[in-house]
Amino acid sequence: MAVINILETHGLTKTYPGVRALDSVDFDLAAGEVQALVGQNGAGKSTFIELIAGSLRPDSGKIVIDGTAYSWLDPPRAIELGILTVHQENQLVDELTVAENIFLYNLPATRIGFVDNRDCRRAADELLENLGIKIRSDRKLSHLSFIDKKLVSIAKACSRKAKILILDEPTASLDETGRKILFDIIRRNAARGLSVIYISHNLSEIFEVCNRVTVFKDGKKVGVHAACDMDVSLLVHQMIGRSSATLYNRDRSAAATENILEVRDFSREGVVDHVSFQVRKGEIFGLGGLVGAGRTELARMIFGMDPKDSGTLLYKGKDLTARTPDDAIRKGIGYLTEDRKGDGLVLGRPIFENISMARLAKEKAFLLKLEREQSETAEIAKKLDVKTPSIGQYVVNLSGGNQQKVVLAKWLFAGSEVLIFDEPTVGVDVGAKGEIYRMMDGLAKEGKAVIMISSDNPELAAVCDRVGVMRDRRLVTVLEGEQVTEENILRHSMGVGEGQRK
Amino acid sequence: MNETRTLKKESGLPKFTQSLVLIVIIAVICVVTAIVNPRFLRIQNIINIFQQISILGIVASGVGMLLVAGQIDISVGTQVSFMGVLFAMIIQKMMGLPEKAVPEWQLAAAVPLAIFSTFLVGALMGLLNGIVVIKSKASSFIITLGFQVVYSGAALLLSGGASYMLFGEFELLGRGRIFGVIPIAILFFLGMIAIAFVVLKYTRYGRFLYAIGGNKKAAFVSGIKTDKITLIAFIVVGLSNALAAIILISRVGSALATTGDSYALDSLAAVIVGGVSLSGGKGTAFNVFLGVVLIGLISNALIIMNVNPYLRQVVLGAIIIIAVTVGQYTGDRS
C-alpha cells in the first residue's frame, strides 16, 4: 500500500502587487511525517503555511487534505480539518490556568452555563498525560517557564484533534534542555500518526527531528529531500540557489581604510550584546543577520530611541552618542527606519513638510520661511529624483520607492553625516532599488558614514563593502572583500560557520 | 496600504473643498431659515448670531489646535464654568455688594486681579490635563472626561452652589459694542481665529502640531519634542478657556457652577464639523471658523423657526455623529 498523504498541494500560487509570494507549489506531507520547511527571509514559507492554515486565500491551485480537494480554506474550516498552527509567540492568556488555556475555545460548562472547572481540569490532565507532557493543569500560566508555555500551546493545538501541526520557529528562545523536551514530544506524537510541518532557521536541529526537508526560494519550492541525504552545507547551498543575476554592481575600488565612524560597545541586557565595529570612509557597511538578531535594536540605540546600558558613537573623533532622537539629529545622525509608514513619514501631509521636518526640529525660529522651505525642499526632491507632480503632493500618494526617497531627503536636508538605512528597499520596486543603492554609494563617496541593515542577503553582498553579521544579539563576524558573499552572510546568520564544512 | 499613485479621494483634493462644502451647507440653512422666517436676515439677527458664537469660537480655536495634534479635551466646558465662578467671585469679593463701600485700591485692583487669576488657573488646568495625558499615555478622551467631572465638582465646591453677581461691573467686554454696532466679543473671537490661522500656517510650532497629529512616531523620530508640543497645546486650550470664561461672565453678569458646561459639546461639534480629523493631522483655522458659524447658525435657526429648544441637543449630537461618520468614509482612516 502506498504512503497516505495527509496533505498535498498542487500548483499553489499567491501573488501580491508586484511580488509572486508563492509560485505554483506542489507539496506533500505523509501521515506521521515531520517535514521541515527552510528558506531565506521572504522565500515564501510564511505565505505557504498561512494558505494551509486558511488565513490567506491562494490565487490558484489546490489544497488536498486527506483526499479531499479544496481551492481555499478559512481558519475555522482548517481547524475543523485538523490543521493547527503553533505560532512563534505564544497566544495564551497569562491569567488563566493551563487547563483553561487549553480549552479556551470551548470550555466545558455545567448545566446552567458556569465553567465546569473539574471537568476542564480532568480533560486537560488526560490530554497532557496522553501527549507525554508533565505539567500540572491547575497551574496559572504566568507561573510557567518558557518551554512549558510552548508545550501548553502544542497541547492546545492537539486538543482540537490536530492531524497536521504547523510549528513556526518552535525552538526560538529555547535552551538546550527545552529543545530536548520539545523534540521528544514531537517524535513521540509523530510516531502515533501526527504530521508536523516544522519551520526553523536553525538548520542543524532539523536533522534531529525531521524526516524530510523542503526548500523554498523566491516563492518556489526548489527541492525536497530525505533528511538523511542532506547536510547543512547542501541545504544552505540550495537555499541560496544559483546566484540570482546581480542586480547591482558597486565599484568597490574607492574604499579606503580610514575609519570615520566607530560604534563602540553598544549593549543592553537581553537586546544587544556588546556590539562594536567601525565604518570606513567611502564604504557602505552592511549589517546582516536573521530577523530578530538585534540589528534594528542596535540602530534604535545608536539613534537614541531606545535606552542602552553602554555604547559610544565616535564620528571623525567627535562623540556623537545620542540620548534621544532629537539629540541624535542635532549631532548629525539620520535613521531611515524599517517601517517607513509607521515611523518614517507623516503620510497625510505634503512632501515638503515631510522633508523639512527634521531640519525644523533642529532650528529655533518661531516663524516658518515658507518660500525658502518650498524652494529648498523642491531642490533636494529633484536631486533625489522624487517622481511627483508637485512637492505639495501628499506622501500617501507616492510609490514605495519615492516615499523612501522622501525619507532620505528629510535626513539629508537635516544635514545628517551618519546615515543608517534599515531595510531601505523593502516594498520598493526593482528600478527604484538601483537608484537607492546609487544614492547610498554617492553619500558614502561624499564622506558620510553609511550603514545598511538588510535581511536580503544578495542585496548586502552586492551593495556593501563590508558586512557585519549579527546572530543572537551579538556581532559574530565582519566579512570583508572576497568574503562578502551571500553564502557567507547566510552561514554566519544561522551559526553554520565555514569551518564546519572545510 | 496600497501603493498606487492614483489620488485618494480626500487627501488628493484641493484643500478648499472641505470649506466649500461647509459654505454650501451654511448657505442652504440660511436660505431655508430665511424663507420660513424673513426676520432671520435682519442685520441685527446676524450680529446676534456672531455675538452668540463668539465665546464658542474662542473655546473652539484652542480645541481645534489641540485636535490637530491628535488630542482631545472634553473638560473645556467645566473648565470655563470653574473659571467663571472664580472670576465672578474675585470681583464680587473685592468690590463688595453694591450698598457697601470698599477702599479705592480694592476697586481698582479687582478686575486686573480677577483677570490674572483666571488666566493663571486656565494655564494650570491645561498643564494638569496635558501632563496626565502625556505621562499616563492613556487616551486623552478618557483622561479629560475624568477631569471634566473633577472641574465640575471643583466649580460647585468653590461656588457653594450659589451664584456670584457682578452687579453691573465689568460689562464692557461681554456687552460692549464698538460704534454701538459691533460687539467687542466678536473681535476677540476673530482675533483668536486669526491667531490660530497664523500659528497653524506660519509657525514651526503649528507645523509640529500637524506632524504629531499625522504620525506621532514619525514626528518623534524626526526629532520633534512631541511631549512638549502636546503639553503646550493643552495649556493653550486652558488659556483660551480663561478668555472665554471672562467674556462669558462679563456678558451674563453672574456665574453659576454650570454656566460654561455646554461649551464642551458645542466646541467639539464645531471643530469636528469643521473637518479637523479626530485622529489629528488635518484641519485649518478657517474651517474651525466655519464649523463654529455652522453650529451657531443651527442653534439660531432652530429658535427663529420656533422649534422646541430641547431639540437643539438632539440636532447637535446628530451632527457630530454624521460628521465623524462621513469623515471615516472619506479617508480619515488612512
Ordered domains of chain B (ranges, CATH)? 17-30+45-332 (1.10.3470)
Residues of A with CB under 8 A from a CB of B: 17, 303, 305, 325-326, 328-330, 335, 337, 342-349, 353, 357-358, 360-363, 365-368, 370, 394, 396-400, 403, 410, 414, 427
A21's CB contacts (< 8 A; 6+ apart) are A14, A15, A44, A47, A219
Confidence of residue B6 (pLDDT cuts 50, 70, 90): very low
Report the chain A residue with the minimal C-alpha distance to residue B10. A348
Q: HSE-up of B103 (CA within 13 Å, CB side)?
A: 3
More confident residue, B11 or A445: A445
pLDDT at A245: 44
pLDDT at B75 over 90: yes
Sheet holding A5-16, edge to edge: A19-30, A5-16, A60-65, A68-70
Q: How confident is the model at residue A244 (pLDDT cuts 50, 70, 90)?
A: very low
Please say if the pLDDT value at position B107 is more than 70: yes
Alpha-carbon distance values, B293 to B68, B181, B209, B331 (Å): 19, 19, 24, 25
Q: Rounded to the nearest 5 degrees, what angle is found at the Cα of A150, between the Cα atoms of A147 and A155?
A: 125
CA distance A309 to chain B (A): 21
ipTM over 0.90: no
- pLDDT for position A9: 94
Give B305's pLDDT tier (boundaries 50, 70, 90): confident
Element (H, E) at A474: strand A474-480
Q: Which positions in chain B touch A349 (Cβ < 8 Å)?
A: 210-211, 214, 281
Over residues A271-299, mean pLDDT: 92
CA dist A97 and A117 (Å) reads 10
CA distance B14 to chain A (A): 10
Q: Is the pLDDT of residue B139 over 80?
A: yes
Measure A112 CA to nearest chain B CA, in Å: 37
Give chain B positions within 8 Å (CB) of A369.
Answer: none
pLDDT of A248 higher than 70? no
A489-501 per-position pLDDT tens digit: 989 988 875 444 4
Rounded to a whole number, what is the distance in Å from the CA of A457 to chain B's nearest CA?
A: 25
CA distance A219 to chain B (A): 21
CATH class of A259-500: alpha beta
Q: Which fold has domain A1-82+163-242?
A: Rossmann fold (3.40.50)
Domain ranges of chain A: 1-82+163-242, 93-161, 259-500
Shortest CA gap B8–chain A (Å): 7
pLDDT in tens, A279-292: 998 899 999 998 88
Tell me whether residue A376 is exposed, middle or buried, using C-beta atoms within 10 angstroms of its C-beta: 0 to 12, 13 to 18, 19 or more: middle
The answer to whether residue B19 scores a pLDDT higher than 90 is no
Cα separation of A370 and A372, whole Å? Answer: 6
Q: What percent of chain A has pLDDT over 90?
A: 54
Find which of A306, A323, A338, A349 to mutate to test the B interface (most B CBs within 10 Å of its CB): A349
What's the rounded Cα separation, in Å, for the pair B195 and B215? 24
Structure letter (DSSP) for residue B268:
H
Identity of the highest mean pLDDT range in A65-69, A412-416, B231-235: B231-235
Query: pLDDT category, B8, cuts 50, 70, 90?
Result: very low
DSSP for A241-269, please give it. Answer: -SPP--S-----TT--S-EEEEEEEEEET
pLDDT tens profile A467-489:
999 998 999 999 998 889 888 99
**Selected residue of B3, B203, B232 to mutate for chain A interface (largest A Cβ count, 10 A):** B3
pLDDT surpassing 60 at residue B101: yes
CB nearest to B203's CB, from A328, A361, A367: A367
The phi and psi torsions of A400 (rounded to 5 degrees) equal: -55, -45
- B8 closest CB neighbour out of A328, A396, A427: A396
- CA triple B181-B184-B185, angle to 5 deg: 120
Of the partner residues B202, B211, B225, the one whose CB lies closest to the CB of residue A346: B211
Q: Of B326 and B254, which is predicted with more confidence?
A: B254
Q: Which of B5, B223, B277 lies at the smallest CB-CB distance from A361?
A: B223
| Mean pLDDT value across residues B301-308 | 84
Measured CB to CB, residues of chain B less than 8 Å from chain A are: 2-3, 5-8, 11-12, 202-205, 207-208, 210-211, 214-215, 217-225, 277, 281-282, 334
Q: Tell me whether residues A347 and B223 touch, CB distance under 8 A.
A: no
Residue A501 confidence (pLDDT): 41
Give the mean pLDDT of A383-406: 89
Look at A410 and B300; give whichever has higher pLDDT: A410
Lowest mean pLDDT among A173-177, A314-318, A420-424: A173-177
Given this model, what pLDDT does residue B99 score? 73
pLDDT at B213: 95
pLDDT of residue A254: 56
Do B214 and A348 make contact, defined as CB atoms within 8 angstroms? yes
Contact B281/A348, CB-based, under 8 Å?
A: yes
CB contacts of B203 in chain A (<8 Å) are: 366-368
Q: Is the pLDDT of residue B10 over 80?
A: no
Whether A242 shows a pLDDT value over 70: the answer reads no
Mean pLDDT calculated for residue range B62-90: 96
- Partners of B215 on chain A (C-beta within 8 Å) are 342-343, 345-348
- Give the range with max mean pLDDT: A17-26, A145-154, B235-244: B235-244
Residue pair B181/B107 in contact by the 8 Å Cβ criterion: no
Q: Do A398 and B5 touch (CB under 8 A)?
A: yes
Residue A367, min C-alpha distance to chain B (Å): 4
Residue A243 has pLDDT above 50, yes or no: no
A345 pLDDT tier (thresholds 50, 70, 90): very high
Which residues of B are less than 8 Å from A406 in CB distance?
none
Report the DSSP beta bridge partners of residue A475: A470
Contact across the interface for B282 and A348, Cβ inside 8 Å: yes
Confidence (pLDDT) at B13: 44
What are the pLDDT digits (tens) for A258-268? 889 999 999 99
Task: Pick the closest to residue B250 from B136, B111, B153, B130 (CA basis).
Answer: B111
User: How high is the pLDDT of residue B334?
Assistant: 36
Average pLDDT, chain A: 88
CB-based contacts of B199, cutoff 8 Å, min separation 6? B65, B205, B206, B285
| pLDDT greater than 90 at residue A456 | no
Parallel, antiparallel, or unpaired for β A5-16 and A19-30?
Answer: antiparallel
Do A1-82+163-242 and A259-500 share a fold? yes
What's residue A161's pLDDT? 86
Interface mutation target, options B17, B210, B222, B282, chain A, most CBs of A under 10 Å: B222
d(CA B276, CA B272): 5
Residue B14: pLDDT over 60: no
Residue A416 corresponds to which cell in the numbers above?
Answer: 545628517
Question: What radius of gyration do chain B's Cα atoms show?
Answer: 21
Tens-digit pLDDT profile for residues A79-107: 999 999 998 877 889 899 999 999 988 88
For chains A and B, CB pairs below 8 A equal: 106
pLDDT at site A59: 92
Mean pLDDT of A220-242: 83
**CB within 8 Å: B217 and A343:** yes
B12 contacts in chain A (CB < 8 Å): 394, 397
Q: From CA B22, how far away is CA B295, in angstroms rounded?
A: 11
